[in-house]
Amino acid sequence: MYRYDEFDAAFVKERTAQFSDQVARRLTGELNEDQFRPLRLMNGLYLQLHAYMLRIAVPYGTMNSKQMHMLAHIARTYDRGYGHFTTRQNIQFNWPKLRDIPKILEDLASVEMHAIQTSGNCIRNITTDQFAGATADEIIDPRPVAEILRQWSSLHPEFSYLPRKFKIAMTGSPTDRAAIRFHDIGLQATTSALGEIGWQVWVGGGLGRTPMIGKMISGFVPHEHLLAYLESILRVYNRYGRRDNKYKARIKILVHEEGIDSIRQQVDEEFAQVKGGVLHLPQDELDRIGKYFVEPAYELVNETRVDVAREKILNPLYGRWLEHNLHGHRQPGYVSVTISLKPIGGAPGDATDAQIDVVADLAERYSHDELRVTHEQNLVLPHVKITDLPAVYARLVEHGLAEGNAGQITDMICCPGLDFCALANARSIPLAQEISRKFGSPERQAEIGDLKIKISGCINACGHHHVAHIGILGVEKKGTELYQITVGGDATEQAAIGDILGHGFIAEDVPAAIERLVDAYIARRQSPSEPFIDAFRRIGKEPFKEALYGNA
């Protein structure tokens, strides 16, 4: 993975000093809160319901064990012994004190980490496939380009005060695990007719109160022109994106209102001017950055298969974990392991300091010192030898991290909700915990199969409910927390936004309503191998509406 050189280290050091100076000026009153807010946000510092929240960047979701240990240290020393992994592949701490922030940033800098641009109306952390560089189904490893984009977007002077936040996601695999069509810019690796590898560029996707599926703005941009092309999009957005209404300020609205053809033309005109200039990415630079991401020294292993059926008989829980939490690796004898942060009845995405330390240890010992954060709020050990799986599993079991539910109904994305967030209308974590308990039994989950539930505590949709197979949105109506249910969303390359089926439910009634949807699916599926989303596409929403509201 990428390692800082002197330049990177000096940059983070200067940025930390700059932010400390800004905090000091806020404390003396030289900056008022209005003047300070965007500055602290640009360094990941939010003021939440009860306390400050610090969001730490995990560039494209990749960390080493030393960095992970530091997160455990921060959780232990400055917070309440846990951290929360986010859908942006970052981690946030909900209880730091303002006076500790400079110290935390110094600690982070010592392991090449920071909180730069984890909030604010700027280009946010670049996210990507959690299996990047490991998965068998990849056209290219997106991480070198992600690192170059991280550098290009860090404290970009022209794009630090955009109309609104700006998120870029990319995938090197045709199977989209990074939800690229729901980002301001989505990058999909692709091969041109001439066999050259480059990027398909999608623009104007997003969730929030106006969910939009991104539109393809360019079918092919070669590596060398990618920065120039992105700068062109950003410039058009910075100049013409709406600033009159915060809720209409994302690029998705600009694309929607002006039309993709008009935006494409403006971007192309700009690109014609910028192309080939200082942002022309030389191949040797790509190669140089690429060297940081060369494959680790894999061992040649005789055992290249996992006999899940056999293991299921011997140890059903281990067998279930193998069945769901492994992902195919490009290197024979290796797999990528998903560590679920969704224990039955737990708060999705939370991990204690002890758990964070354990995962760091496992990464160091069994995964070439690498780990990943997924946008579905789990962790991944990307390069684990098949022969090491029993040992890894045993450690995970000891620390409550061995839930074999990746991709199952209890592997939910969930925002912090009203328990933490100042924006939320409704609680989401307690509801996730209820649903998790209701469907907690392994047999029930096995019966249901792949089904993604995602919960947002408000219209801002941090819990990605729009793209859930079954989405839950907390709203407030006349002082009551209500939950609307959507069906049929999909975050992958078959991108779809879920439909709202009818009126909302009070919290106590939601788990039962979900169960009715699940039963309706099981009753109508062609076979146990037809997943929920496929069945939904085949039979439409009516049967589900009926399941929820009866035959009205």
Partner 1 sequence: MATLDLAVAGLRPHKRDALRELGIMSLNGMFDEMDGVAVLRQATEHLLPGDLAIVSSFGADSSVLLHMVAQVDKSLPVYFLETGKHFPETLDYVETLKRQLGLTNVVALHPDAKDIARFDPTGDLWETDPDSCCHIRKTEPLDEAVKGFGGWVTGRKRYQTAERGVLPHFELTSDDRIKVNPLAYFSDADIVSYKLKYGLPEHPLYAKGYKSIGCAPCTSIVAEGEDPRAGRWRGLNKKECGIHFDFNGAIAKPMANQELNLFKDGAFVADPFHSWAEGDDAGSVSYTHIPLAVFVENRDAVLANPHPVGLLVSPADDVMAVKGDLDRFSSIAINFPAYTDGRGYSSARLLVERLGYKGEVRAVGDVLHDQIQLMRRCGITAFVVKHEPTKKALIDGKLATVDIFYQPVGLTEIPVGTRPFLRRAVENA
Locate the DSSP E strands across 343-498.
Answer: 350-352, 371-373, 379-385, 413-414, 453-456, 470-477, 480-487
Nearer to partner 1, 164 or 215 (CB): 164
The token duo for 87 is: 């859908």
| Cβ atoms within 10 Å of 202's Cβ, excluding its own | 24
Q: State the nearest-atom distance from the C-beta of 25 to partner 1, in Å.
A: 7
Task: Tell me the C-alpha distance between 327 and 383, whole Å.
Answer: 10
Q: State the nearest-atom distance from the C-beta of 107 to partner 1, in Å.
A: 19
Residue type at 37 in one-letter notation: R
Q: State the nearest-atom distance from the C-beta of 66 to partner 1, in Å.
A: 23
DSSP 382: E
Task: Tell me the C-alpha distance between 149 and 146, whole Å.
Answer: 5
The token duo for 126 is: 């670049």
**How many alpha carbons lie under 13 Å from residue 230 in its C-beta half-sphere?**
32
Nearer to partner 1, 237 or 393 (CB): 237
SS3 229: helix
In Å, how far are 174, 177, 304, 348, 532 from 381, measured between CA atoms?
Answer: 21, 16, 17, 18, 28
Task: Tell me the C-alpha distance between 375 and 60, whole Å.
Answer: 10
In Å, how far are 1, 135, 212 from 199, measured between CA atoms?
Answer: 22, 18, 21
Q: State the nearest-atom distance from the C-beta of 377 to partner 1, in Å.
A: 29
Taking the CA atoms of residue 404, residue 406, residue 412 and residue 413 in that order, the dihedral angle to the nearest 10 degrees is 130
Euclidean distance between the first and the last CA atom of the chain, given in angstroms as a whole number: 57
Interface residues with partner 1 (CB under 8 A)? 7, 10-11, 14-15, 17-18, 21-22, 25, 30-31, 35, 38-39, 121, 148, 151-162, 235, 238-239, 243, 273, 278-279, 281-282, 285, 288
Check if the beta carbon of residue 408 is closer than 8 Å to that of residue 445: yes
Check if the beta carbon of residue 267 is closer than 8 Å to that of residue 216: no
Nearer to partner 1, 121 or 374 (CB): 121
Nearer to partner 1, 11 or 220 (CB): 11
Nearer to partner 1, 235 or 438 (CB): 235
Q: State the nearest-atom distance from the C-beta of 257 to partner 1, in Å.
A: 16
Q: State the nearest-atom distance from the C-beta of 182 to partner 1, in Å.
A: 24
Nearer to partner 1, 17 or 51 (CB): 17
Q: State the nearest-atom distance from the C-beta of 21 to partner 1, in Å.
A: 4
What is the secondary structure of 27-88 as a DSSP string?
Answer: HHTSS-HHHHHHHHHTTTEEE-SSSEEEEE--GGGEE-HHHHHHHHHHHHHHSSSEEEE-TT
Q: State the nearest-atom distance from the C-beta of 39 to partner 1, in Å.
A: 6
Q: State the nearest-atom distance from the C-beta of 193 to partner 1, in Å.
A: 28
Q: Which of 213, 390, 226, 230 is nearest to 317 (CA)?
A: 390
Q: State the nearest-atom distance from the C-beta of 249 to partner 1, in Å.
A: 11
Check if the beta carbon of residue 185 is closer than 8 Å to that of residue 136: no
Task: Tell me the C-alpha distance between 544 and 471, whole Å.
Answer: 13
Q: State the nearest-atom distance from the C-beta of 283 to partner 1, in Å.
A: 11
DSSP 507: G
Task: Tell me the C-alpha distance between 306 and 319, whole Å.
Answer: 10
| Cβ atoms within 10 Å of 390's Cβ, excluding its own | 12
Q: State the nearest-atom distance from the C-beta of 543 to partner 1, in Å.
A: 48
Check if the beta carbon of residue 374 is closer than 8 Å to that of residue 394: no
| Cβ atoms within 10 Å of 141's Cβ, excluding its own | 22
| Cβ atoms within 10 Å of 510's Cβ, excluding its own | 22
Nearer to partner 1, 26 or 375 (CB): 26
Q: State the nearest-atom distance from the C-beta of 154 to partner 1, in Å.
A: 5
